[in-house]
Amino acid sequence: METLIVTGGAGFIGSSFVRLALAERPGTRVVVFDKLTYAGNLANLADVADHPGYAFVQGDIADRDDVRRLFAAHRPAAVVNFAAESHVDRSIDDASEFVRTNVGGAFELLDAARRHHRELPAAERERFRFVHVSTDEVYGSLEADDPAFNERTPYAPNSPYAASKAAADHFVRAYHETYGLPALVTNCSNNYGPYQFPEKLIPLMTINAIEGKPLPIYGDGGNVRDWIYVEDHCRGVLAALERGRPGGKYNLGGSSERTNLQVVEAICDALEAELPARANPALAAAGVASYRDLETFVADRPGHDRRYAIDDALARRELGWAPAHDFASGLAATVRWYLDHRDWCEEVESGRYRRERLGLAAR
């Protein structure tokens, strides 16, 4: 049985990928390696905890000893790296952990993979893959009439988070070019779906609205993001693992550009369909008649990129991949999940995060 190491596998996107890999690769043993920081939680993997192909190892990708013990103990046939500090606002307040994890951690994984790869028998060396999961934020910001990001778009990161991910992407390329490590990069648009930590836009707005709390919208609400349902993104990563070119790079998008204000209004409408405002006592207590009445415009994020958009033609052509969910159906399923899993929300927040505003240090 081949072993696939999934770093950051207890996080939002990583846990979705773990479930997908266990379901679609029955001959693979999936080893999750995660530090279990505030955004990584074993509650995200509770439904696969008893799966015979699943194993968990707690550790830090930026700790050389942890990483090398991991490779020595499990001798992977492939590695997929989801582990990262990912919240832009937190990177504005303090970029140090982003540099340590996103840059230093990527380096430790790559160097351990290089050492492991060169010691494999020829046939196993040929099959080995290292997939690094990155973001569209490395490309910078687009104007309204600019073409979407493609794999040849120059890097122009604007936040400390984006800069740390860009540095990691460059290390992946360098390890392929210099050492022949069969590594590749995927760059995705904004993910949404079940198990997303409540600091991100869609779960934050959904949970706040359910509780009758304000829905804080940065600036004028006109910042545009392309949204991809998390399972669609994970299927793209799996396709890259199985069919991607070593040294290659693939953009994965959802073809669903929306302004932040449009997203918040869509959440309000989806909640109205599932839990009408008149039936939600939290709204009555807040003195409002509808979810949209909770919308509140707040000071913008420093250096807030205006627009992201993904051209995923290469992934569609080379990987045979395409997203299966449109934004409306994916959002409806997401809102329904949060309504049905309030206990999960309470568990993962558990005093470590109170939905406070972050990212104002630059002011």
User: pLDDT digit string (tens) for 218-253?
Assistant: 999 999 999 999 999 999 999 999 999 999 999 999
CB 85 within 8 A of CB 7: no
What average pLDDT does the segment 139-143 reach?
96
Q: What is the model's pLDDT at position 16?
A: 98
| Annotation marks residue 257 as catalytic | no
pTM (two decimals): 0.95
CB 138 within 8 A of CB 150: no
Pairing of strands 224-229, 190-192: parallel
Active-site pick, 139, 161, 195, 291? 161
Active-site pick, 60, 85, 108, 137? 137
Provide the pLDDT confidence category of residue 320 given band limits of 50, 70 and 90.
Answer: very high
Provide the pLDDT confidence category of residue 39 given band limits of 50, 70 and 90.
Answer: confident
Q: What is the model's pLDDT at position 355?
A: 53
Q: pLDDT of 177-227, one tens digit each?
A: 999 999 999 999 999 999 998 888 999 999 999 999 999 999 999 999 999
- Helix, strand or coil for residue 260? helix
Q: Where are the alpha helices (DSSP H) in 150-243?
A: 160-179, 201-210, 230-243
Phi then psi dihedrals of residue 28, to 5 deg: -110, 135
Provide the pLDDT confidence category of residue 360 given band limits of 50, 70 and 90.
Answer: low
Active-site pick, 136, 199, 265, 311? 136
Q: pLDDT of 283-319, one tens digit each?
A: 999 999 999 999 999 998 888 899 999 999 999 999 9
Q: What is the model's pLDDT at position 302?
A: 86
Q: pLDDT of 64-95, one tens digit each?
A: 999 999 999 999 999 999 999 988 888 999 99
| Annotation marks residue 136 as catalytic | yes
Would you tell me how many other CB atoms lie within 10 Å of the CB of residue 247? Answer: 16
Compute the mean pLDDT over every residue in the chain, rounded to the nearest whole number: 95
| Annotation marks residue 161 as catalytic | yes
Taking each continuous run of H as one helix and of E as one strand, the counts in the chain are 14, 12
Q: What is the model's pLDDT at position 363?
A: 53
